Amino acid sequence: MRKPIALFVALLSIVSFVRLAGATEDRLSKGDKEIIKDAMRNLQAVSGQSRLAREKAENERVQHLARVIVGGDDKMIDQLRELAKKYDFTYDSDPTKPDAKEGKQLAKEKGKQFDREYVDNMVKQHEELLGIFKQGAKSDNPDVREWFDKKEAAIREHLDQAQVAAKELRD
């Protein structure tokens, strides 16, 4: 009589463990939510400044960088919204106060000073985004992990292009 009960308890334990292990894949952890929110806010700030740079930049490389960033980041923003929607996650995506202040300051600049400030912002913000994406690529949620892992290369490419532009403007 003890064997069937012990077997039942063992089986129940295994089923419960498997359900709990799978549960992390069906939802977003608090860390996943923070990563998605941080990535979205940063991508939107970068995209907003890049839209401005498409219009105001004097340097052709800076204009090209702005066009590349807007095109790539807008796609990532849409995809990130879809990922959050899949998990029924809503959040405030308004820019942070420092990002908003940085955008307003950049809008006041003109000419070569604008180009330098924009490129310096892109280097700084893409370094920050790269850190966010690396953290997202370590998520326990396979959808979050896969998305951030795949998109990390695009962020790296934007950072590399911004660094080249920054070097060119300093020389």
End-to-end CA distance of the chain: 85
Quote the tokens at residue 135: 């953290």
Domain assignment present for 88: yes
Nearest to 72 by CA among 164, 161, 166: 161
Domain assignment present for 54: yes
The pLDDT tens digits for 37-73 are 999 999 999 999 999 999 999 999 999 999 999 999 9
To the question of pTM greater than 0.75 for the whole model, the response is yes
Domain assignment present for 4: no
Domain assignment present for 143: yes
Domain assignment present for 41: yes
User: Alpha carbon 106 to chain centroid distance?
Assistant: 22
Total domains in the fold of the chain: 1
Domain assignment present for 91: yes
Domain assignment present for 138: yes
**Burial (Cβ within 10 Å: 0-12, 13-18, ≥19) of residue 8:** exposed
Range of the domain at 122: 28-170
pLDDT at 97: 87
The pLDDT tens digits for 123-165 are 999 999 999 999 999 999 999 999 999 999 999 999 999 999 9
The pLDDT tens digits for 74-121 are 999 999 999 999 999 998 878 788 888 999 999 999 999 999 999 999
pLDDT at 125: 96
Domain assignment present for 23: no
CATH of the domain at 153: 1.20.1260.10
